[in-house]
Amino acid sequence: MEKVEKAFELIENESIYRGFFSLSRIRLRHTLFGGGWSESLDRELFHRGRSVAVIPYDPVADQVVLIEQFRVGAMFVNGDPWLLEIVAGAFEEGESAEDVAYREACEEAGCKIRHLVRIAEFFPTPGGCSEKITLFCGIIDSRGLGGVHGLGEEHEDILVRVSSFDQAMEWLNQGRIEAAIPIIGLQWLALNRDRLRTAYSRSLI
């Protein structure tokens, strides 16, 4: 197939809701792989902006830090809307992705990141949401971690679970971890765990 020049035209962009998140109704058209242009399409777009997620990992103890919290998105689908996840949060003004990772790890899990390893950037649900996530692995010392964390002013109620790598993978294989971001993080960790243990174990002793 010949290379197709790709383009889109934004015809209308109407803000229809602004609250904790925002929602727009847009009208657009785009070029087609077979040539020409699509008809005008009406779509709703959910705005979340840029976010950061971190899977905290202790290569010396071979332990992973997971968090558990109530998620409204699972409330009408799951019998149990308390999900096992990893540390995550949105950018604040002037922050870099690394800044967000360090801050959120402290706020949500009470842990200090010693080293950051960038994993990937991706759109979790690009069919209707603008959010793009930067995912890191945070090298930590897991000793003494646990308890309940989160910011009261943000109504966060977060239980920190420090588990062995094997236990975290068992939960993943059992389907107990249902959110996409921790699934991606744990699968990456499974592929890179030996390398991380070799590279960072001595630096944490």
Residues assigned a catalytic role: 154
User: CA 92, 152, 19, 76: dihedral to nearest 10 degrees?
Assistant: 120
